[in-house]
Structure 1
């Protein structure tokens, strides 16, 4: 129960293991994706994200473990939408034709598919492009068409692998709005992206893997609270030596006319600010938590700033 409402799980992955020759690329991967939520699957290149997604889609099969969709092991293909990282639309086919063809493969009514396709093309600034062949589209336009193809049949579960690739900022905003709207209307969404700022802004929960293993799994709020310690950035002509001996300061970084102080986990911010030396030159002072991007970099580069072995379970 969350907020008095029953959580309905669409996808459940349990104990997934996968090896290629003697290299184990997935090691006991387990997570769930609930209806109406955006769940991020994150990790550096080679972490096992694509292998996990391909196992979910039935493109390959795990050595061990189980994948169930609403309690069933059979993949409900007409209920799933998939935007792969590797784009794969037929280049010499007209835009509307390819959209209707893909909708038909999902057993979606053609008349309804055409109405929805024309509506989405207009929404994404592609009105009048329905008779243009895919190969004539720009990279961004092609990305929009493939996104439309993944959602045209009203899937209950949607996998988006790097959906923002090749998009300008305006198109990114359109995608963000549509993805959030789909989740608000009950679609379960599994999203993989390297753009941590967008993930942090959009996703309800995240599952971060590294070297085929779970590192972090939980709600965005819990992850930030557990892993994202406070940092304080002070603009002014100050030296590192002026602040590195302060209580609760774990490390200091300096750039141009600013210094950033990374604080310990249990710091009392109000008391700590009052303890700053009056001799500091403070033109601007900001305090926030480190970003999901910084957490990701820490894990991907093995800096081990995070607690060894710590994890959050949803």
Structure 2
């Protein structure tokens, strides 16, 4: 397990990270989300050793992270960093060799990844000949070619079409399933919500919320309910223990002091006619993100 412990970083007089603490557990996909300037990329660079923290520490299984462990991390920067004039296969093999792989092993691994990412027919193409989406998939292959001990990916889905997103998701999930801790940032909150096992929400260089999807939803749950019925729902406003947030004809959204008060709404609605839908409101990651970062 990788743990970021009370890490702080400033550039000049501007604080960028302030007592940042969270964990990336083995075998899990951890989503790292926050607005522009929240400190995500700076955190990743400190984890990789590209930047030094002003204070705090990075640990692996309770011990200080080592140079060798950092060398084994698969990293994909937001800015593409592969060589445009070099063929995709040649540079994946080259990167594998830098990680002490034998040439034949690096080539076999590179070809396997390119096939899984639907780039097998472009292995001999120069990177600059590929579309931006295909360049992104090649960059992901570069992060995976040496069978990394951990994955750190900065906006891995940028520029990918829906089919490429699904292919990439499958490859990353399979990688995590081998026990590799995976941290990735993304502005695509719908993908984060669908893919991640755990989430870390950053704002102003601080962790504003973290946990599994279910834990975040439970911690930020609102006692709100929805009712869709044939009959007009204006009558809900007169019930004790009920605060109507919105109603329009047969639809009402309300808060209830207790679950029992909400169930009384359902009973009264059923007595007035057919009820098409009734239940608690399920909040989205986008709503929670907006709430904790505002």
Same fold (TM over 0.5): yes
What's the CA shift for 1:159?
0.6
What's the CA shift for 1:274?
2.4
Larger Rg: 2
Unmatched tracts of structure 1, length 5 or more: 1-8, 303-314
1:129 has 2:86 as partner = no
Preserved CA contact (<8 Å) 2:116 2:171: no
Residues 125-158 of structure 1: per-residue CA shift (max 9 Å, x gap):
2122111110110111111111011011101110
SS in 1 for 2:120: coil
Unmatched tracts of structure 2, length 5 or more: none
TM-score, normalised to structure 2, is 0.87
Please give the alpha-carbon distance, in whole angstroms, between the structure 1 residues aligned to 2:28 and 2:87: 33
Give the 5 Å matches for 1:262-277: 263=255, 267=259, 271=263, 274-275=266-267, 277=269
1:198 has 2:191 as partner = yes
Preserved CA contact (<8 Å) 1:208 1:216: yes
State how many pairs are aligned. Answer: 290
> Which residue in 2 is equivalent to 1:35?
26
Match of 1:17 among 4, 8, 28: 8
SS in 2 for 1:207: strand
1:73 has 2:76 as partner = no
Please give the alpha-carbon distance, in whole angstroms, between the structure 2 residues aligned to 1:269 and 1:87: 55
Residues 209-232 of structure 1: per-residue CA shift (max 9 Å, x gap):
211112112222211111133544
Give the 3 Å change call, closer, same or farther, for CA 177–18 of structure 1 in structure 2.
same
Residues 29-65 of structure 1: per-residue CA shift (max 9 Å, x gap):
0112121111122212211111111111122111111
Give the 5 Å matches for 1:189-228: 189-228=182-221
SS in 1 for 2:80: coil
SS in 1 for 2:7: strand
Please give the alpha-carbon distance, in whole angstroms, between the structure 1 residues aligned to 2:157 and 2:111: 22
Please give the alpha-carbon distance, in whole angstroms, between the structure 2 residues aligned to 1:290 and 1:263: 14
> Which residue in 2 is equivalent to 1:311?
none
Give the 3 Å change call, closer, same or farther, for CA 297–15 of structure 1 in structure 2.
same
Please give the alpha-carbon distance, in whole angstroms, between the structure 2 residues aligned to 1:17 and 1:253: 47
1:50 has 2:41 as partner = yes
What's the CA shift for 1:104?
1.7
Residues 49-92 of structure 1: per-residue CA shift (max 9 Å, x gap):
11111111122111111112342332324420011111121111
Please give the alpha-carbon distance, in whole angstroms, between the structure 1 residues aligned to 2:76 and 2:15: 26
What's the CA shift for 1:252?
3.1
> Which residue in 1 is equivalent to 2:175?
182
> Which residue in 2 is equivalent to 1:90?
83
Match of 2:285 among 288, 292, 311: 292
Please give the alpha-carbon distance, in whole angstroms, between the structure 2 residues aligned to 1:58 and 1:253: 54
SS in 2 for 1:166: coil
